[in-house]
Amino acid sequence: MKKIACIAVMFMATVASTSALAQSGGASTYKAKCAGCHAADGSGNTPAGKSTKALPFSSPEIVSASDADLAAATKNGKGKMPAYNGKLTDAQITEVIAYIRTLQKK
């Protein structure tokens, strides 16, 4: 029984550290590639965000979108948002989406 508890604790620690790494990498990529239009807080309240009518990440359309939908929009572009396929790796896109989800909770 102690062995199972130890394995469970090790698993939870691994998941927590992986999540923290994704959020920190996602935050730096977001600041470098996304905040210019989407704003630091995800509101879209920047000159570029206003001119392209970027939706705030708190909008129901974005909150209810799946991670796969957000990844597809990031890779392929959507509306006036350019495609980032070839500019960001799949891992970076996943990390940015994880970071965006943290902005939605604020």
Q: Are residues 42 and 50 in contact, defined by beta-carbon separation less than 8 angstroms?
A: no
Q: What is the pLDDT of residue 50?
A: 96
pTM given for the model: 0.75
- The domain spans of the chain are 2-104
Residues in the chain with pLDDT < 50? 5-6, 8-11, 13-19, 21-22
Bridge partners (DSSP) listed for residue 85: 88
Angle subtended at Cα 63 by Cα 102 and Cα 70, rounded to the nearest 5 degrees: 85
The position carrying tokens 């000159």 is 47
Q: What is the pLDDT of residue 5?
A: 44
Domain range 2-104, its CATH number among 3.40.50.300, 2.30.40.10, 3.40.50.150, 1.10.760.10: 1.10.760.10
Q: What is the pLDDT of residue 6?
A: 43
Q: What is the pLDDT of residue 79?
A: 93
